[in-house]
Amino acid sequence: KAGVTQTPRYLIKTRGQQVTLSCSPISGHRSVSWYQQTPGQGLQFLFEYFSETQRNKGNFPGRFSGRQFSNSRSEMNVSTLELGDSALYLCASSLGGTHQSDTQYFGPGTRLTVL
Amino acid sequence: QQPVQSPQAVILREGEDAVINCSSSKALYSVHWYRQKHGEAPVFLMILLKGGEQKGHEKISASFNEKKQQSSLYLTASQLSYSGTYFCGAHPHSGGGADGLTFGKGTHLIIQP
């Protein structure tokens, strides 16, 4: 089975711009979660989508949004970029069950640099 | 609230053992362990559910003490390939699978030949 794929792998943007990141989950997985990883804060949960619906959201401003398509692929959008948004953005896919044993598998991430 | 991992970093010689701890101030239902090498995605190692379960994968095992709200990862006879940053991810007791994992800040493990 192919793993989780993310595109693009690297992005450079300037402050004020917006960006869209894409994630394709493992075949058969219906849940996609997004995380922001920075050296200072570590891995922080952004949101999770299941069956095209946002099922849970972390503590990030409204500039961060996402969506999921019928094929479970997901996109994440960040508007009005700030320098502090520079980070590695990881998506993780899982079967999407509500049991805590549902295992998440991470993609390689998109490295976003905001200048 | 983020789980607290300790130690923050550890340097070992190949063949030595290591223990990485993950503690939470909130009740835990499950703990997920991942390893991330520099520039790569976190790789799933194992998941532990409440009940004091212990799991193992080759020379890497883990325990979960629900009463203490703590999990420990044990690396036995460490190999060079074990180097990386280890993260624990926790599901809060009251949450369901719909809650995102809350990760600790990671433990950097360096194995030297």
Q: Cβ neighbours of residue A28 under 8 Å, at least 6 residues apart?
A: A1, A95
pLDDT beyond 70 at B92:
no
Digit-coded pLDDT (tens) for A70-109: 999 999 999 999 999 999 999 999 987 666 677 889 999 9
CA distances for A2 relative to A68, A69, A76, A82, A84, angstroms: 19, 19, 21, 34, 32
Q: DSSP assignment of A83-94, as one string?
A: GGG-EEEEEEEE
Report for A93-97, B31-35, B52-56: range of highest mean pLDDT: B31-35
Longest dimension (CA), chain B: 44
Closest CB from A33, A42, A107 relative to B100: A33
Chain centroid to CA B70: 10
Show the beta-strand stretches assigned E in A51-109.
53-57, 64-68, 74-78, 87-94, 105-106
- Return the residue in B44, B71, B94, B107 with the most chain A beta carbons within 10 A, the one to mutate for interface testing: B44
Q: In angstroms, rounded to a whole number, what is the distance separating the alpha carbons of residues A28 and A105?
A: 13
pLDDT beyond 50 at B96:
no
Residues β-bridged to residue B13: B112
Q: Is A98 within 8 Å of B96 when comparing Cβ atoms?
A: yes
User: For residue B30, what pLDDT band results from cuts at 50, 70 and 90?
Assistant: confident
pLDDT at site B28? 78
Q: DSSP assignment of B28-63, as one string?
A: EEEEEEEEE-TTS--EEEEEEETTT-EEEETTEEEE
Q: How far is A13 from chain B (nearest CA, A)?
A: 20
Closest CB from A35, A42, A104 relative to B105: A42
Q: How far is B103 from chain A (nearest CA, A)?
A: 6
Q: In angstroms, rounded to a whole number, what is the distance separating the alpha carbons of residues A49 and A22?
A: 13
Mean pLDDT (whole number) for A7-27: 97
Q: In angstroms, rounded to a whole number, what is the distance separating the alpha carbons of residues B39 and B47?
A: 23
Strands B9-13 and B107-112: parallel
Closest CB from B29, B41, B106 relative to A106: B41
Phi, psi at B4, each rounded to 5°: -105, 125
**B54 or A47, which is more confident:** A47
Q: Is A106 within 8 Å of B91 when comparing Cβ atoms?
A: no
Cβ neighbours of A90 in B, within 8 Å: 41-42
Digit-coded pLDDT (tens) for B63-87: 888 888 899 999 999 999 999 999 9
Q: Cβ neighbours of residue B31 under 8 Å, at least 6 residues apart?
A: B3, B22, B47, B48, B62, B64, B71, B88, B89, B90, B91
The fraction of chain A above a pLDDT of 70, given in percent, is 96
